[in-house]
């Protein structure tokens, strides 16, 4: 992947937005990688949790908002529990999803679920998925 850095991106309001929505100080991260080491979902992620934090520090908005990883994270909070700097990585990922969802870019297509799936899957899963993946 080719990544272009620029002062403009780093100073973009996107970085402030992520910090504000997540309530986290992105610059506290020193890239130890512990969040990614313990994340059960890394196998399926294109950008790993520690990279998400780095990308967010650098204002790499396009890469982050197009990533698959933000929809693979299940907010299990393992990363938060293990970060030696007390950063809530799951909150940062939630902020990224919210930036898209607040622009009506739903990830879950409820209408695509079959009647059988809707009957078989318990309400706890359906509601949860809608809360996380729709606006």
28: contact with another protein by CB under 8 A: no
How far is the first Cα of the chain from the last one, in angstroms, to the nearest whole number? Answer: 30
Radius of gyration from C-alpha coordinates of the chain: 16
Q: 73 and 41 in contact (C-beta within 8 Å)?
A: yes
**3-class SS at 115?**
helix
- Touching another protein, residues 33-92 (CB under 8 A): 40-41, 43-44, 72, 74-78, 80-81, 88, 90-91
88: contact with ligand SF4 by CB under 6 A: no
Among 11, 13, 16, 23, binds another protein (CB under 8 A): 23
Among 14, 15, 22, 39, binds ligand SF4 (CB under 6 A): 39
| DSSP states along 47-79 | S-HHHHHHHHHTT-HHHHHT-SHHHH-----HH
> How many binding residues for ligand SF4 (CB under 6 A)?
25
Residue ranges in contact with another protein by CB under 8 A:
20-23, 40-41, 43-44, 72, 74-78, 80-81, 88, 90-91, 94-95, 98, 108-109, 113, 117, 120-129, 131-133
């Amino acid at each position: 992947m080719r990544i272009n850095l620029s002062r403009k991106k780093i100073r973009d309001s996107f970085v402030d937005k992520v910090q504000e929505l997540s309530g986290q100080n992105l610059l506290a991260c020193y890239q130890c990688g512990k969040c990614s080491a313990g994340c059960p979902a890394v196998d399926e992620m294109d950008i790993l949790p520690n990279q998400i934090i780095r990308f967010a520090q650098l204002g790499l908005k396009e890469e982050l908002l197009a990533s698959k990883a933000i929809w693979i994270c299940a907010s299990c909070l393992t990363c938060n529990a293990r970060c030696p700097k007390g950063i809530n990585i799951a909150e940062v990922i939630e902020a990224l999803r919210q930036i898209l969802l607040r622009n009506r870019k739903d990830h879950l297509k409820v209408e695509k679920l079959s009647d059988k799936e809707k009957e078989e899957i318990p309400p706890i899963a359906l509601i949860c998925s809608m809360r996380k993946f729709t606006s």
